[in-house]
Amino acid sequence: MKKTLTIILLSILAGMTAHADEGMWLPSLISQRIGDMQEKGFKLSAEDIYSVNQASLKDAVVLFGRGCTGELISPEGLLLTNHHCGYGQIQKHSSVEHDYLKDGFWAMSREEELPNPGLSVSFLERMEDVTDLILKGYEPGMSEDERVSIVKNNSKALIDEVTKEGKGLRATVEALYYGNQYFLFLYRQYDDVRLVGAPPSSIGKFGGDTDNWMWPRHTGDFSMFRIYADKDNNPAEYSKDNVPYRPKKYFKISLEGVQEGDFTFIYGFPGRTQEYIHSEGVRYIEQVGDPHKIRLRTLRLDVMSKYQSQSQKVRIQYSSKHANVANAWKKWQGEMKGIRKMKTVQNKQEFEKTFSMWAANGEFDGVVEKIAQIYHDLEPYQFATDYYSETARTVELAGIAYKVAGLLEKENGKELAKEALDAFYKDYYLPIDKECFIAVMNEYDKNVPAEFKPEYYKECLDSYGSIEAWAKDLFASSLFADPAKAAEADLEAVTSDPAYRFYHEYAKWYNEDILPVTRQLNQDLQLAYRDYMRGQMVYCRTQRVPKAFYPDANLTLRVAYGHIKGYSPADGTYYLPSSTMKGIMEKDNPEIFDYNIPQRYREIYAAKDFGEWTDATGEVPVCFIATNHTTGGNSGSPVINADGNLIGINFDRVWEGTMSDIVFDPEICRNISLDIRYVMFIIDKLAGAGHLLDEMTFVGR
């Protein structure tokens, strides 16, 4: 049964014709796509992309930290990723005396490179289909619980075995196609990764939230690190004696530039997509989840913005929080709009109707209906969960109270709590928190049905009479409203505090009343999707529907390829595919925080001191867009040209195309990359760190 499954999958995957630029492909199976890639302009072979026998491009790509990608660009372990991926590290090294976020940082010698405890990068050693091994012992007819435990035990045994020989080895077994296939991913993890450089935020975050998810774009979103290893090039904990890691492969930097139509390929770790989702799942996202979540976040963002515009101090305190809330908020708006425009719900419904007729009396009979039923059962719980996470869970005072309670239970709790509290109050402004509480809880009151609200909520509202009165009392009587009192509080005082109680009662309600149901329903859903996924493949093959299948993203290494291309976001408008420094000068405005560039930068531009980093028109290129299929996690991914050389760093998508996590539209979906020549320009001219260029290899220089 498992054999046939693998054979079916393989024959389906191999026999599919290409579709315009959609897809996130598994590197080890890239030979199935290489013909299409070469037809579109790629000049290298499948073995050049992924090989276990020789150095290949995969050896120059790393999973950076917990959710970004990075690439090696020198024989001495130099690595590029995004500024927003290295942000946490840059921030940690910053202080009032040297504010690297504001001013940038460049190590002028190896000794000046800064260690980052807790940061690691992982190279993929190899990946392989282990479906038969992982399902060993599973028989059709067994329960899902039994299957889950078999998969878990077999995975553990396999992981233990493959990681036993060799330093820094780490492995995961990942389900693809909803568990129709299992793949082993074996990584080598390096833990000594040092900060080499970052531009000032006015360059690395140029355009800020205003330009986020937007094109035309001018963000210099990069930072630079170096991997260190022991004398034998093996992973090692941080030590002064460690030496720069010598990679099996690193990217050459191409100065040949990009033209509309050029082949591009992205090699990285996309996080999560749902391309095979049922119409009911899409309907919830488009018509329920996204609109409600957007509305709740609009309320919070408005409150933050109001106070931020009144005080310079508050603006800084809430800039990172505002950015975090705004990021998904903006993405969801594009996603919702894109799904609507693509008529994805209707199209899926039509497909499901045909599928269902085809499936009647066969192996996949009823699966479409079953999924619809599970979504129906799940919906109120999902709705309650979404509201919980966008309302009660966002109350800052409640969050810190809960955190402090947890810390005070530890041995050196007092000390840990003090640290946490100091960090919290540094960026806390109570009027924002309180007004957000009032705004979102009123919305919650209106929209969430009574049976999906905790008793605690009803009691509080009854006794206070209004959300406003409740907020007034909570924010006045909580000891966390007063940093001095919070610092003194013991565990008992904390756990009887109203802010703590708020967090605790909500968490208790969620864990007892909601989570068990959603967990069960999601397991049922997973099971039904496993059949539906296989059904979609068999259907398309037997009915000769030309559709190429690729597994949904799951933070494993993937190849996406396409070409440089502008797009038309609206009638009468066409966006060119690249931007230049000229556009930065046009946006430059000392009055607007997001567009205020360093004075030195203005001088460089006035003097036209561009060095060799210009395009054919004599301007310095900054960003470009292309049709590669990417998602969150692809941040920092290398953008590679037809010759396999580095032309850019991926960092975003256009917001009109963010539905590509669900449905890809080649007309609109574009990834946004930083032009590698801009990176070099900043290092060379603004940072004056030209010595770093000496270790890189340039093509077309």
Active site residues: 84, 221, 635
Length of the chain, in residues: 701
Residues 41-80, one symbol each (x = binds ligand ARG by CB under 6 A, - = not), give ----------------------------------------
Bridge partners of 558, per DSSP, are 268
What crossing angle do the helices spanning 396-408 and 413-426 adopt, rounded to 10°?
160
Minimal distance in Å, beta carbon 272 to ligand GLU? Answer: 10
Of the candidates 402, 400, 498, 386, which has an alpha carbon nearest to the alpha carbon of residue 444? 386
Token pair, residue 258, equals 């990009």
The nearer residue to ligand ARG, 427 or 695, going by C-beta atoms, is: 427
Half-sphere exposure of 107 (CA within 13 A, CB side): 19
Q: Which stretch binds ligand ARG (CB under 6 A): 179-187, 209-217, 360-368, 583-591?
A: 209-217
Minimal distance in Å, beta carbon 587 to ligand ARG? Answer: 15
Q: Residue 233 in contact with residue 248, Cβ under 8 Å?
A: no
The nearer residue to ligand ARG, 210 or 568, going by C-beta atoms, is: 210
Minimal distance in Å, beta carbon 581 to ligand GLU? Answer: 22
Count of residues in contact with ligand ARG, rule CB under 6 A: 10
Q: 186 in helix, strand or coil?
A: strand
Instruction: Name the binder of 22 from ligand GLU, ligand ARG, none, CB < 5-8 A by kind.
Output: none
The nearer residue to ligand GLU, 321 or 434, going by C-beta atoms, is: 321
Say whether residue 497 binds ligand ARG (CB under 6 A).
Answer: no
The nearer residue to ligand GLU, 630 or 645, going by C-beta atoms, is: 630
Q: Residue 414 in contact with residue 408, Cβ under 8 Å?
A: yes
- For residue 480, the 8-state DSSP code is G
Say whether residue 244 binds ligand ARG (CB under 6 A).
Answer: no
Q: Which stretch binds ligand ARG (CB under 6 A): 108-116, 206-214, 235-243, 491-499?
A: 206-214
Minimal distance in Å, beta carbon 630 to ligand GLU? Answer: 5
Q: Which stretch binds ligand ARG (CB under 6 A): 132-140, 205-213, 555-563, 675-683?
A: 205-213
Minimal distance in Å, beta carbon 325 to ligand ARG? Answer: 9
Q: Residue 9 in contact with residue 537, Cβ under 8 Å?
A: yes
Chain residue at closest Cβ approach to ligand GLU: 635
Q: Residue 600 in contact with residue 199, Cβ under 8 Å?
A: no
Between CA 80 and CA 680 the distance in angstroms is 11
Say whether residue 84 binds ligand ARG (CB under 6 A).
Answer: yes
Between CA 124 and CA 601 the distance in angstroms is 39
Between CA 405 and CA 400 the distance in angstroms is 8
Among residues 81, 155, 319, 635, which is the contact residue for ligand ARG, using CB under 6 A?
635
Between CA 27 and CA 46 the distance in angstroms is 8
Instruction: Name the binder of 123 from ligand GLU, ligand ARG, none, CB < 5-8 A by kind.
Output: none
Among residues 632, 636, 644, 657, which is the contact residue for ligand ARG, using CB under 6 A?
632
Say whether residue 213 binds ligand ARG (CB under 6 A).
Answer: yes
Between CA 129 and CA 152 the distance in angstroms is 16
Minimal distance in Å, beta carbon 358 to ligand GLU? Answer: 34
Instruction: Name the binder of 209 from ligand ARG, ligand GLU, none, CB < 5-8 A by kind.
Output: ligand ARG
Rg, the chain, Cα only:
26
Say whether residue 634 binds ligand ARG (CB under 6 A).
Answer: no
The nearer residue to ligand GLU, 510 or 651, going by C-beta atoms, is: 651
Minimal distance in Å, beta carbon 633 to ligand GLU? Answer: 5
Instruction: Name the binder of 501 from ligand ARG, ligand GLU, none, CB < 5-8 A by kind.
Output: none
List phi, psi (to 5°) of 387. Answer: -65, -45
Say whether residue 113 binds ligand ARG (CB under 6 A).
Answer: no
The nearer residue to ligand GLU, 247 or 268, going by C-beta atoms, is: 268
H helix or E strand, kind and range, residue 488: helix 483-488
Instruction: Name the binder of 212 from ligand GLU, ligand ARG, none, CB < 5-8 A by kind.
Output: ligand ARG
Q: Tabulate helix, strand, coil % of the chain (nearest 5).
A: 50, 15, 35
List phi, psi (to 5°) of 563. Answer: -150, 160
Give whole-number Cα distances, 365 to 34, 202, 358, 362, 694, in Å: 36, 57, 8, 5, 63
Residues whose CB is less than 8 angstroms from the CB of residue 244 and which lie 6 or more positions away in sequence, other chains included: 76, 77, 78, 110, 226, 227, 228, 229
Between CA 635 and CA 84 the distance in angstroms is 8
Instruction: Name the binder of 630 from ligand GLU, ligand ARG, none, CB < 5-8 A by kind.
Output: ligand GLU
Between CA 548 and CA 13 the distance in angstroms is 7
Footprint on this chain of ligand GLU (rule: CB under 6 A): 630-635, 651-653
Among residues 56, 89, 116, 212, which is the contact residue for ligand ARG, using CB under 6 A?
212
Bridge partners of 197, per DSSP, are 106, 224
Instruction: Name the binder of 634 from ligand ARG, ligand GLU, none, CB < 5-8 A by kind.
Output: ligand GLU
Minimal distance in Å, beta carbon 268 to ligand GLU? Answer: 9
Among residues 38, 287, 305, 327, which is the contact residue for ligand ARG, using CB under 6 A?
327
Instruction: Name the binder of 420 from ligand GLU, ligand ARG, none, CB < 5-8 A by kind.
Output: none
Of the candidates 379, 401, 376, 421, which has an alpha carbon nearest to the alpha carbon of residue 507? 401
Between CA 204 and CA 208 the distance in angstroms is 9
The nearer residue to ligand GLU, 249 or 321, going by C-beta atoms, is: 321
Say whether residue 202 binds ligand ARG (CB under 6 A).
Answer: no
Q: Residue 259 in contact with residue 577, Cβ under 8 Å?
A: no
Say whether residue 208 binds ligand ARG (CB under 6 A).
Answer: yes
Minimal distance in Å, beta carbon 478 to ligand ARG? Answer: 30
The nearer residue to ligand ARG, 478 or 630, going by C-beta atoms, is: 630
The nearer residue to ligand ARG, 220 or 535, going by C-beta atoms, is: 220
Minimal distance in Å, beta carbon 653 to ligand ARG? Answer: 7
Minimal distance in Å, beta carbon 615 to ligand GLU? Answer: 25
The nearer residue to ligand ARG, 470 or 664, going by C-beta atoms, is: 664
DSSP track, 144-177: HHHHHHHHHHHHHHHHHHHHSSSTTEEEEEEEEG
Task: Give the distance from CA 384 to its chain's centroid.
Answer: 24
List phi, psi (to 5°) of 226. Answer: -135, 135
Instruction: Name the binder of 536 from ligand GLU, ligand ARG, none, CB < 5-8 A by kind.
Output: none
∠ CA 92-637-601, rounded to 5°: 60
Between CA 11 and CA 30 the distance in angstroms is 14
Footprint on this chain of ligand ARG (rule: CB under 6 A): 84, 208-209, 212-213, 323, 327, 632, 635, 652
